[in-house]
Structure 1
């Protein structure tokens, strides 16, 4: 297990240590995992990276062309070497070639290539995801797979909730990394699944020589499968992989020591600890199906202010016991885009929020832009809640497995009477707002506003992690 842990540290911590002497001003995180907007800059970084590699490739090809010309010219002279002692003209040609061309060939061999591209690459490395970004992305995948019971094979093939998104499959690298993560947290069921997939993709790889440049080999996968099956109590299966490894490397000391241990464990099995159940509350809330209640719930038009009489809005009641309703078409597409553009420069990570939050938040005020003042006035018209000087509006953008929840074990002490949540985008999978005590789940509907009253002293709503989509919302605390 020590070898596995070391291997995991090399692959994760090493991500943030590739730039020797990295500037101390480099941030701890670029927030690539917690905001889709931040991920856009990551894609632009990748485009620059590809362009730089193409440029370097072009330089190498031009240089190789010169080398090949030198080889061809020298070989042609060598083929005609029998003429040297009899032919004055040819003899002079060879002498001239050696005297004049060989120094040029030395220059070719010692020329420093792609200095501009190398410098650009160094700059790119300093902008790459940090170890924090990488760890947060791993945590996001872990949360999604756990909360939604996602099948490892389906994930690797680009299938979510039964829908094939026709994306390029994950390969050996992704499966190996996820297997290492689960191995590290002692979730051996999942680690064994991911290692099996890594082995499958390794054996099915069309260009095995590409894998030779990796820091791991086929034998590493076999060793990891030994550890995973040992963690599951499948000692005979672990022994099978150990023997396969020893057929390749008969003198591998570590695995030779493992065989008698596996034999003993098979004959004297120990009681294994069950893996810790994580995200229990989210899983219970988000995997449950909620049926819409009928009966006394109403749909009506909101027209109780002069402005709303001119442009009434449709309000649908979702719950009466605790007032929850949704106002349809609350904000139009043009205003949505203006609000998102205004908030983009202000989006930032909030360190004081729960660990169970994967988003960036931009705090706006009515004085910062007319669109904020306009939305605040409209919220006041619709809800009737007095603002009491509160002109703040939170605009939230989510990332991988994005959500905005309090800690599952925490109790919230609400100081606000109600909340208004405006959906600024649709979400293809996940991201629902759930009110467990009311057996109610609400999907994001672009342009609509969800309004609810808070029950003092406890959390009455949760948000499910986003499986697919770029989710934006605006949140307004109503006093």
Structure 2
């Protein structure tokens, strides 16, 4: 009900009262005194209405100031602002959850607000799916790089302040979103941070009980009924009639009883389970992403840098800087093999074609997966002289034929973008749909951007981490000369912590290499391919 309706109803009430008593009012002062009561009621009602309106407008002004302040900061350095995972999440939240709150406050329909702003040609609204993706990306970074939640909530990444602090509402919505996708552990941590910030923030669009209800129930979902009961007590101290809390108490009590029985059984069995393969794999992956492994001295002392002058006559006039970063299996980094102008051209070609990155399933079909979060596009040599020139350059510095190579794949990894450990060349047992004689022989990754933090290419079996170097290309062989997959070349793309990672991939196939890289007649079974000298953790100083 708006203020016009309120005043109209007040006036109607006055008219009705006046019609009923007008013939008698002048006959006695005592009757006239009743008008003063009515007069005071109008004053009180109007005063209450104005206070509520001022409070409502105050809320909108605070939201406006927050939007305006964040926008000014963003426009001062767009790339760095959007390259921050905290800013990415809060921006999407502002245009989803917060926008809905504003619409409710001003009592206008969603269609009106969105239609008014949608008159601009470039207006685009994120969805709940985008909010969920941003929340999961932030959590992925938090887990991989061991980020402290309290620092994240303050806009701090690895000790450096990159953004404005998150509000209690921001932390709450992040926790709520993670709860929806069943990430209860991280959801609980963000809800606890929301509660801490709730007591610090001056403005709230949620209640303390809202946060406590999640904290209590999340403890229950994490099999801690006793703590859930303790938080329920806090809820009832603030809201004694809270039905959610009252209804959940029996379930929490049952959980406590069952937990005692389980603990008794566990105490009777002292055998500890060993770390699973998946846990070891994840631990190594995250350790390499953080750059906490160092190569063995046996490898490092034999690494070389040189100018590449063979493979093509032109290289004698314009040699390429070649850095060897691993030996047996050989991994090379070729520096300054793509110019800034070529990078700009390829990016501009790829952007309009971008679609969600996929992985190949057992049927040989590309399908979206959380194991690969990025966008990609394919560029053919015949579409552009620049693309053709890059493909020719691959042949020049690898010494391999690109006649049957795949078209150039351009990839952009945004906030939290990653690619889990995988092989570029399929194992025969995994990919029966594809001819075994034409798998991906070699991989070339062109780095088209530097990455402020994160985004390394890591090789789990080698203990090798390679940070993106703009204008450079990473090269390795996926297969042994026998044609068997080199299991040491399982690699991954680490999550982008801050910034944007642009790469393009060129996969060189076996076909066309008959004279350039002939097969070795000796069969090499995969289980005894090579004994790798293991990397070791860096010494903490």
TM-score normalised to structure 1 length: 0.67
**Structure 1 residue runs without a partner (length 5+):** 1-35, 61-111
Equivalent position to 2:294, from 277, 291, 294: 291
Cα distance change, pair 264–114 in 1 and its aligned pair in 2 (3 A): closer
Distance 1:359 1:155 in 2: 23
Distance 2:110 2:293 in 1: 60
Q: CA RMSD in A?
A: 3.9
Deviations 1:285-340 (A, max 9, x none): 23242214323222110112222122111101122211211111112222222221
- Give the conservation status (yes or no) of the 8 Å contact 1:358–1:400: no
* Shift in Å, 1:181: 4.2
Deviations 1:48-82 (A, max 9, x none): x8xxx9xx99xx9xxxxxxxxxxxxxxxxxxxxxx
Cα distance change, pair 389–187 in 1 and its aligned pair in 2 (3 A): closer
Do residues 312 (structure 1) and 319 (structure 2) align? yes
Q: Which residue of 2 aligns with 1:393?
A: 408
Q: Which has the higher contact order (CA 8 A, sep 6+)?
A: 1
* Shift in Å, 1:400: 2.2
Equivalent position to 2:195, from 196, 199, 203: 199
Aligned length: 372
* Shift in Å, 1:116: 8.1
Matches within 5 A, 1:350-369: 350-351=357-358, 352-353=366-367, 354-369=369-384
Distance 1:190 1:113 in 2: 34
Distance 1:306 1:378 in 2: 12
Equivalent position to 2:129, from 124, 129, 132: 132
- Give the conservation status (yes or no) of the 8 Å contact 1:357–1:406: no
Matches within 5 A, 1:17-416: 119-121=115-117, 127-160=124-157, 162-184=158-180, 188-208=184-204, 211=205, 216-232=206-222, 234-259=224-249, 261-262=251-252, 265-266=255-256, 269-270=259-260, 271=262, 281-288=281-288, 289-292=292-295, 293-304=299-310, 305-351=312-358, 352-353=366-367, 354-390=369-405, 392-405=407-420, 412=427, 415-416=439-440
- Give the conservation status (yes or no) of the 8 Å contact 2:381–2:387: yes
Deviations 1:1-57 (A, max 9, x none): xxxxxxxxxxxxxxxxxxxxxxxxxxxxxxxxxxx89x9xx99x99xx8xxx9xx99
3-state SS of paired residue (1:135): helix
Distance 2:190 2:443 in 1: 41
Equivalent position to 2:471, from 441, 447, 462: 447
My pick for the range that moved more, 412-421 or 195-204, is 412-421
Distance 2:494 2:444 in 1: 18
- Give the conservation status (yes or no) of the 8 Å contact 2:394–2:402: no
* Shift in Å, 1:264: 5.8
Cα distance change, pair 384–180 in 1 and its aligned pair in 2 (3 A): same
- Give the conservation status (yes or no) of the 8 Å contact 1:328–1:449: yes
- Give the conservation status (yes or no) of the 8 Å contact 2:449–2:468: yes
- Give the conservation status (yes or no) of the 8 Å contact 2:380–2:407: yes
TM-score normalised to structure 2 length: 0.60
- Give the conservation status (yes or no) of the 8 Å contact 2:287–2:293: no
**Structure 2 residue runs without a partner (length 5+):** 1-81, 267-272, 359-365, 429-437, 510-541
Do residues 461 (structure 1) and 491 (structure 2) align? yes
